[in-house]
Every structure is written in C-alpha cells, then in structure tokens.
Chain A
Amino acid sequence: MKQDDAPVLTAGQDNKQIMGLDFHNPVFPLSALAILAFILYALIYPDAANGQLGAARGWSIEHFDWLFMIAGNFFVIFCLALVLLPVGRIRLGGAQARPEYSRLSWFAMLFAAGMGIGLMFWSVAEPVAYYTDWYGTPLNAAAGTAEGASAAMGATMFHWGLHPWAIYGVVGLSLAFFAYNRGLPLTLRSAFTPLLGRYTRGWIGHTIDIVAVLATIFGLATSLGFGASQAAGGLAYLFDIPNTLGTQIAIIVLVTVVALFSVWRGIDGGVKLFSNINMVIALVLLLFVVFTGGTLLFVNGLVTTTLDYLGHIVPLSNWIGRDDTTWYHGWTVFYWAWWISWSPFVGMFIARVSRGRTVREFLTAVLLVPTLVTIVWMSAFGGTALRQSAEGVGELANGIGDVSLAMFHMLEQLPMTTLTSSLAIVLVLVFFITSSDSGSLVIDNITAGGKTDAPRSQRVFWATLEGVIAGVLLYGGGSTALSALQAGAVATGLPFTLVLLVMCFSLALGLREEQRNQRLATV
C-alpha cells in the first residue's frame, strides 16, 4: 500500500456526526436538496421539466453520438486488454487478500444489480421490435426477413452484452482498486486521486459524488415508478386487477417495504439473500421456457444468437456513415447513456463485494459471464418471441403494442400461462428489490464519505426516499413527471462518459504503479 495517499482522502474525514447520524458534508445535504428541487420541479411543472430535461438528453445523444460510441468501444477494448496484460494478475486487496463471497453469490449479486429488470421486459420486446420495424431496424435490415431476425438478435445482444458490462467493469475495477489497493474511501472521487490529488477533497470531488448520487437515485426511482406501472399492467392483463394509480402505488409500497427489510438485514442477510432468490426464480423460468419453447430450437438458438452477435458487433459499433441514424440514436446511444448513468451505482456495488479477486478474474466475471448468461437468456426468451412473431403465433405476430406486456404475450403461447406469468411478475418484483436495496447501500456509502459502517437509519432513509420519489411523482405528475426525471438521469450520461474516460487513464496509471511496486518487492 502506498503510504503517501494517506493525507489525500480518508473515509469519513469530512463527515458530520449529528443526532446519531454520520454523513458527509456537503455531499449528503446538497444531494438531498438537489433531489428535493428536482422533484418539486417535476411535480409543479411536469411538462416543462419533461421538455427541458428531455431536450438535454436529446441534445447530448444528438450531438455526442460519436463520443458515446467511441467510449463504449474503448471500454470494451480497455477491459479486454487488462484481462490479457500482466496487470491482470494484480489482486484487489493485495496478494494475501482472499474473496469474501462464493463465486455463485458474487455473480448473482452483480448480475441482479447490473441488469435487473430491463432484461425481463426487453429480452422479449427488443428483438420483436427490431424484427417488426417498430421504430426502425438495426443497420436498416429488412423487417420480417431472416436477415432482419438475425440483425434483431445481434443488436439486442449488442445492447445487453459486452459493452454495458465493460462500462460497469471500468467503474467497478477503478473503485475496487483505489479502495483495496490504495486504501482510499469507497466513493467515486477516490478514482481520481492519481490525477487530481488533494483537489478530490474539494468541490471537484463533491460534484462527482453528488452527480453520482442524483443519477443513481433518479435512475432507481424512475425504474421503480415505471416498473410499478408495468407490473400493474401485467396484473391487469393476467388477473383483471384494475390498473389504477392505487394498484401502482401499492406495488411501490410493497417493493419499498421488502427493500427496507433487505437493507435493514444488510448485505449478507438481505441483499445476498434476495439476489440468490432472484437467481433461482430466473433459472426456473428460463428452464421452463427452454423446455416448453423447444429444447432443440433453444440449443440451435444458442449458436445462432452467438453468431448473430459476433456477426453484427463490428458494424453496430461503428458510428461513421451509418444510414440508420434514427435507430442507433434512439436505441444504441440511448442505451449507452443509460448504462453510463447507471454505472456509479453498479460499479460501486460490484466493488464493494469484490475484494480478493484478481483484476483478470474480476473483469472476466464482469464482462464475459454476464454476456454468456445473456446469450442463454436471449436465446430462450428472445428466440421464442421471434419465432412466435415470425410464425404469426399470438399477439407478437402483430408486433409490439405495449412493451410491458410483450413477455406475457410470449408466455401466453406456452403451457401453464397463469403460473409462469405469475412467476414472471414475482421475478420482476424481486429484481426491483435487489436494485433498490443495493442502490440504497451505494448511495449511503457515497453520502457517508465512503464509510461502510454508517448508522443503519441512513440506508433506511435512502431506500424510503426512492419509494417516496417514485410514488409522489406517479401520483402528482404521472408518467410525464417520471419521464422528466429519467431524462435527467440519462442526461448525466454525457458528463459521466468523460468522467469514465478519465477514470480509465487514472486506473491505468494506478495499475502500472502497482505492478512496478510488486516487481520491486520481489527483486
């Protein structure tokens, strides 16, 4: 460990202890104030907020498409290079450190935090949307053809495969490295100490941390809000439970209460437990779709999905001379901005549970394993949905009407619909819980100046706030207010892209130095 880092940053060094609380000043109060201001704005002027924050998101996607695309590709190459280079042998926490979680639990936790709910809805909706030309097709492939189906699967995998996980990998590895190998607090600003030194203690550091808190809480709250509407839509479709505001608020309350229970029980008793439950239910649903949707077709699908992905990854990664601008702005660049705005949360959480892994092990697990799992998931869910759409079976034959119902439309054509659809709704809710509890822990970490032992009441505060924001926005401003806040979260993707690029540079410097120190130590 490098001793001269000591004066730069220490966990909790700028914290205030008031009324049994232990929080960073000014990150905690300013984050809370900014959250309040944004919510009031979205509630009082939902249309104006939606227009302005939506315009900010649109502007960043329109004008900086090239930056998002270059950065996305760079992160993948950067991570793969670290896996292959000798620095891959560096162990997080020093040579003697050993992993604290079994591989299975570790993987379940990072997957549940990172992908979560989106994969449930979009693994069915996205391939069908591309195949049926819902809002354009990838690379302008002809809709409804074999070529269109191949491009649809390739593009969906592209959005859920190596690229998003490389984004999470960069943030997670940087934070883990600077925390465990440099002894710096587990907060975003620590990753910039090699470049900014003591300035990370000042306003540059505060700003990075506050924006991370805002992006995380708005991302979580809007996901919860939209997810509640989607789950309520599913309940209405399946059981004729009226899809009213009351049902949606009840779902938000339910998820928040269980998430509170989870954060109260901590990482081992709550977050890990729900991640494992999540994985088991997901596996059951996956096996069901594989067996009832056609096992041979699935096995064949594994090969074709992989080939579709590999076959389209290069043209889809390219941003020059594209003639499907509307499609790739609307989907690819939007996804990249979304993943990047989500990355402080997922990265921090992955870092928290990854001490003792080597750089190579960390990046292999974070990049390749989720990609392989997504291939399996997509071959089952997306593949079955695409076949239904192509063969004119069920609702999906008419393309995508309501995104939140696409999965239920697919399950409807398989046996035991009520049982599997109910399981799907439960899985949706558990995915929310695992995002909400781990997100609250991360926000608590950042706002407690990197301390992981801040009083429990603080994490309870953040988990409650997520639910309250989702509920209040849905109640006061409806989906317009939620969209406004989501646009705000996605708009943070642009500044964070630059932050992440700097982070890569900072990490490379840190790893090179670590390797040099280890070499000197062995001489």
Chain B
Amino acid sequence: MYKKIMVPVDLAHLDQLAKTLRVVADLANFYQAEVCYVGVTASTPGSLARTPEEYQQKLDAFAKQHTTEHGQPVSARVVISHDPAVDLDDVLVQAIEDVGADLVVMGTHLPRHLDALLPAHGGKVATHTQASIFLVRA
C-alpha cells in the first residue's frame, strides 16, 4: 500500500525517537517500503553539525545504521531552512513532496497547555499534505 515512508528526524533528540523508529521499522517491513529520513537544519553552524554537509554525513550514517532494523532500502535528505524554529512545518510539507513519500511517520509529544500557542508539528503538517500521517506519541 505504501511505497515510501518519510521520517522527520531531529538528531539532537534521538532519545525521544526510539518508539517512532520501531514503528517505522515494522511498517517498512510490512509494506516493503523504502524509508527516507529527513533532517532539517539551518545553514549556520549548529550544536550537532557545523555545516549542512556535516549534518548530511551524520544523517547518512544514522540511516545506514537503521537499515539493519528493517532491511528495506533507506535514504537520507537534509533540508536547509533559513529559520528552523519557525519554518519547520513548511519545510516538512515541501520535503514530503520532494521526497515523494506517501506515508509520514512522525514522533510527537503529549498535548500540553502551551500547544494552543505552540502547536506540535504533526497536526499542521497533516493539514497541508496529501500523504498519510502517522503520529507516534512519545
């Protein structure tokens, strides 16, 4: 049913992604789908990588490491954002189209009081794309 699964990954918070990655592995196996890990970074040096190229290398390594979990083909794509704190949703929506994903699996947090002001990313992304969205509660 699904051919390509996109997984937004924040390399800085991998500890919160364990459950999501297990779900991704199961779904990839079940549908024999390719998995594309997408990372969003600014062009300015960040805490994980000093350049977008370095971020790409780290994401490639991450993707390779997770191939073994499901045995399906993987790819990794870094998207550069001018202002990641603000643009993340828009960048992800664009990435879904660019990657050609038909399913997006995203980790999300429990609803919080602040969500009225600072909504989680999953909801907004879901309203702006044709792809199916699977939100995994942390």
Q: Name A residues whose Cβ lies closer than 8 Å to a Cβ of B.
A: 1, 6, 10-13, 15, 20, 93-94, 100, 179-180, 183-186, 264-269, 352-353, 355, 450-457, 459
Contact = CB atoms under 8 A, between A and B. Distances in A.
Contacts of B51: 1, 93-94, 180, 183
B50 interface: yes
A11 B46 CA distance: 5
B84 interface: yes
B118 A456 contact: yes
Given A1-B51, A183-B50, A455 B43 contact: no
Contacts of A353: 82
B86 A265 contact: yes
Given A100-B82, A264-B86, A266-B86, A10 B47 contact: yes
Interface in B73-103: 80, 82-87
Main SS class of interface, B: loop
A459 B82 CA distance: 15
Nearest to B43: A355
Q: Which are the 3 A-B pairs with shortest beta-carbon distances?
A: A183-B50, A266-B86, A266-B83
Contacts of A185: 44-45
Given A266-B83, A457-B118, A452 B47 contact: no
A452 B118 contact: no
18 contacts: A1-B50, A1-B51, A10-B50, A11-B44, A100-B82, A180-B43, A264-B86, A269-B86, A269-B87, A352-B44, A355-B43, A450-B44, A450-B45, A452-B44, A452-B84, A453-B85, A455-B85, A456-B118
Nearest to A264: B86
A184 B80 CA distance: 18
Contacts of B45: 10-11, 179-180, 183-186, 450
Nearest to A101: B82
A452 B114 contact: no
A38 to B, nearest CB: 28
B42 interface: yes
B47 A12 contact: yes
B50 A452 contact: no
Interface of B: 42-47, 50-51, 54, 80, 82-87, 114, 118
Contacts of A459: 85
Nearest to A268: B82
A452 B84 CA distance: 8
Nearest to B42: A452
A93 B82 contact: no
A12 B114 CA distance: 24
B43 A266 contact: no
B21 to A, nearest CB: 22
Given A183-B45, A352-B44, 8 more contacts: A11-B44, A94-B51, A268-B86, A355-B44, A450-B45, A452-B83, A453-B84, A456-B85
A267 B83 contact: yes
A444 to B, nearest CB: 9
A173 B66 CA distance: 40
Nearest to A9: B45
Contacts of B50: 1, 6, 10, 183-184
A266 B46 contact: no
Contacts of B47: 10-13, 15, 451
A451 B12 CA distance: 13
B44 A266 contact: no
A13 B82 CA distance: 21
Which of B47, B87, B118 has most chain A Cβ within 10 Å?
A: B47
Contact of A451 (B46, B86, B87, B114): B46
Contact of A456 (B43, B44, B82, B86): B86
Given A20-B114, A183-B51, A452 B46 contact: yes
B87 to A, nearest CB: 6
A418 B46 CA distance: 49
A179 B114 contact: no
